[in-house]
Amino acid sequence: MCGIIGYVGKQRAVNILLEGLKRVEYRGYDSSGIAVLEKGQLAVVKKTGRVEALAKIAAPRKFRATTGIGHTRWATHGGVTDANAHPHLSSDGKFALIHNGVIENYVGMKRFLIEKGFTFQSETDTEALVNLIAYHFQKEPANGDRSRFLESVRKALLHVEGTYGIAVLCTDFPSEIVAARKGSPLILGVGDGEHIVASDVSALISRTQNVVYLNDGEVVHITEKGFSLSTIQDQEEVAPKFDRVSWKIEDAELGAFAHFMEKEIFEQPVALENTMRGRFSDDGSTAKFGGLNLTAGDLRQIDRLVFCACGTAWHSCLVAEQLIERYARIPVEVEYASEFRYRNAPLDKNTLVFVVTQSGETLDTLEALREAKRKGYKVMAVVNVVGSTIAREADGGIYQHAGPEVGVASTKAFTSQLIVGAMLALYLGRLRDMSYTDGVEYVKALKHIPELIKQALAQAPHIKAIAKRYAHHRDFLFLGRQSMFPIALEGALKLKEISYIHAEGYPAAEMKHGPIALISPECPTVFFAPAGEMYPKLLSSIQEIKARNGKVIVITTTGSEIPDGLADERIDLPACHDAVLPLVATIPVQLLSYYIAAELGRDVDKPRNLAKSVTVE
């Protein structure tokens, strides 16, 4: 969850660290801090609040150091205080450490270290690790060997139970950083006479596009002259695999928009175009995916699909379930990734597992992937971040190509996942019993999505006005049926995430089985009622709400007739193919949530208690 960055080079480190922290602040923003090696001593500055607060006290000190580490925190162990902010120092003052993850056995480590004379200043698990490194350093022979620093970190990590992405400084080895990972992402950027280690490419993209993605159980030793990569457990050297980040720093800039969430909502026509690019057959009747690493014959043997995901990605899987079962006639089950590995669900031998995650680093989803592979199943991944851990560990998969998403509340990544699900339903359907004619119609509908999204976005002023009228309400219901039910769940989640308004999503027909008790003038209902065979039943449900004096915001399709008095507010969607309707229907609830949160003055891009990538369990 936390954001980390380390720098070794020729430039002043503080400015680079602060810039990098601002770019990874969406990973955690309870507090932040930096540590630099200044004249042979560790200088540490840390502060609760946003990185901007840290910059105000760090910048005036005009540090000249060219080596340093920085951290922005999402609290796990210990409250949000200056003392609990990272970096943490060993009690002998020799080491500074930043950490993303959770050390599960820190209590025993701490008890052992106190007996050895080490002292503690914080409530964190991280301080136990930095003191353990100092303990092993004291035991290593002081022979001037440059590996002493590395070996002290390695030996300490052998005792750690849990997850970590760490970067460490040592006063005895200036211009060096040791960094390691297990379960938490870590990336090395290789620049011109400098190296940057970070939890996210956004922290280093302004300095270099050449990167090395560390694998679990690897440690990197960075010096002025270069770096060496090895395994923690066996001390075996690892040949680095260099990758190049495809996007540029401008892709993650705010531009003329008030918030990244607003920017990313309006980027969706282009993002979805990029997701689809090059993925249709020459005859225009089906989709094609180059990264599944499965033949058509392999896929025809699949009897069941299991999707694992968390949060917004889980909602996208529910839509994929509807489309795949309808168009490909393959049974689909959607699992919370956080429950999958503990539930011991029976899987048929002809089951194919998909994991879906924007970041490719979500720990629960990563562990679901590993559990499925441990049991011998092929696992495909749908991810947005190239080179992420899940992308590298999966047997195959589909990149979303939606571009960097900075806002904590997912928007374009969600609709990109929806379109991947729709294309997958088409692809699997054409392998089975979907006709050529139906495939051509389906492809035309998918290719028309960017234009449909633009039409939906054109209603932003109308939706903003509705948001202004309803922002004072403290409870909302979101109701829909079939493929609109997952969008109701997503709409409720978006409103909760960024406005802190209580909201619930339900299948519309389930309203009578409990949620109807909430209906009142003070609890508006956002109701998805597109034209189709269910339309009369949807109108009946709206009647039930109005009979109890509930206010209704109806999201429907252009031309639908709604009896007078049923809709307090109406938002029209362009008529479209059923397979793409969930994508188009998502836009109004994204805009509604965004404008309500903005009206309430919320910190839209950094909502309280949340972080962009959940890399702890």
Residue 179 phi, psi dihedral angles, 5° rounding: -135, 150
Strands 41-48 and 31-38: antiparallel
Give the angle 183-187-188 at the CA atoms, nearest 5°: 140
Contact criterion met (CB below 8 Å) for 214 and 227 = no
- Residue 33 carries which side chain, given as an amino acid letter? G
Structure-block tokens of residue 169: 């400084």
Residue 99 phi, psi dihedral angles, 5° rounding: -150, 135
Structure-block tokens of residue 563: 């009896």
Name the nearest CA neighbour of 9 among 135, 171, 139, 176. Answer: 176
Residue with tokens 């309006």: 266
> Is the Cα torsion angle 77, 81, 82, 83 positive or negative in sign?
negative
**Residue 84 burial (CB < 10 Å; 0-12/13-18/19+)?**
buried
Catalytic residue among 2, 170, 310, 576: 2
Cis-peptide, bond into residue 87, ω within 30° of zero = yes
Residue 97 phi, psi dihedral angles, 5° rounding: -140, 140
Residue with tokens 């999505």: 449
Other CB atoms within 10 Å distance of the CB of residue 573: 22
Task: Give the integer Cα–Cα distance in Å for 102 and 363.
Answer: 11
Contact criterion met (CB below 8 Å) for 483 and 323 = yes
Structure-block tokens of residue 518: 């909430």
- The contacts of residue 281 (CB under 8 Å, 6+ apart) are 287, 288
Task: Give the integer Cα–Cα distance in Å for 370 and 384.
Answer: 19
Task: Give the integer Cα–Cα distance in Å for 126 and 613.
Answer: 20
Determine whether 523 is an active site residue. no
449-457 helix and 436-447 helix, angle to the nearest 10 degrees: 40
- Residue 495 carries which side chain, given as an amino acid letter? L
Give the angle 50-35-608 at the CA atoms, nearest 5°: 20
Task: Give the integer Cα–Cα distance in Å for 151 and 227.
Answer: 15
Catalytic residue among 110, 182, 606, 612: 612
For the chain, the straight-line distance linking the first and the last C-alpha, in angstroms and rounded, comes to 10
Structure-block tokens of residue 449: 């999505």
CA 228 to chain centre: 29
Determine whether 537 is an active site residue. no
SS (H, E, C) 63-125: CCCCEEEEEEECCCCCCCCCCCCCCEECCCCCEEEEEECCECCHHHHHHHHHHCCCCCCCCCC
Which amino acids are annotated catalytic? 2, 612
